[in-house]
Amino acid sequence: MKILICGLPGSGKTTLAEKLAPMINAVHLNADKVREEANDWDFSEAGRMRQAERMRLLSAQAVLENRIVIADFICPTKYARKEYNADFTVWMDTIKEGRFEDTNKIFEPLEEYDVKVTHMDADTWVFIVKQELVAKFGNLTAHNKGTENV
């Protein structure tokens, strides 16, 4: 199962993902760490698409290993979100502008999502998101055979 936590930079994606991942024994893929490992800080349109593809492929690998994966990344366009093809999407709509003007300009508000977080209170929202996941998918352990975090 692929869970996408997306939103503008500084909206709380990583904070929520870091709290949720251990609660459901999920692999957590943070976009900044993935970029750092790839040593690719290109934020052009092509660079952003390359990053989205990396996140998609890393997530797909975790799913093949019967893991739940939480990917926290901006995923700024409808196209990028469609290509990522999450099973469950959390939109971090906690801020109106991020710290990078180029990202603010290209970010397309989500029209489809499972949970919309409107204020950052990670301790509350992590339980809401977990409840919504269980309501939608039932027993999460059936989707998550592994026990190690990557």
Rounded to a whole number of angstroms, the distance between the first and last alpha carbons of the chain is 15
pLDDT tens, residue by residue, 52-97: 899 999 999 999 999 999 999 999 999 999 989 999 999 999 999 9
Residue 32's CATH number: 3.40.50.300
User: 116-147 pLDDT, tens per residue?
Assistant: 999 988 889 999 999 999 999 987 765 565 43
* Alpha-carbon span 34 to 130, nearest angstrom: 25
108/49: higher pLDDT = 108
Q: How far apart are CA 62 and CA 117, in angstroms?
A: 25
Rounded mean pLDDT, 91-108? 94
Nearest Cα residue to 67 out of 131, 137, 140: 140
Domain assignment of residue 147, yes or no: no
**Under a CB-based contact definition with an 8 Å cutoff, are residues 80 and 12 in contact?**
no
Residue 20 included in any domain: yes
Mean pLDDT of 10-36: 95
Task: Name the pLDDT band for 30 (thresholds 50, 70, 90).
Answer: very high
pLDDT of residue 144: 60
> Whole-model pTM?
0.89
Assess if residue 143 is contained within a domain: no
- Residue 150 in any domain: the answer is no
DSSP per-residue codes, 100-150: -HHHHHHPPPPSS-SEEE-S--HHHHHHHHHHHHHHHHS-GGGG-------
Q: Which domain holds residue 125?
A: 2-138
The answer to whether residue 145 is domain-embedded is no
| Count: domains in the chain | 1
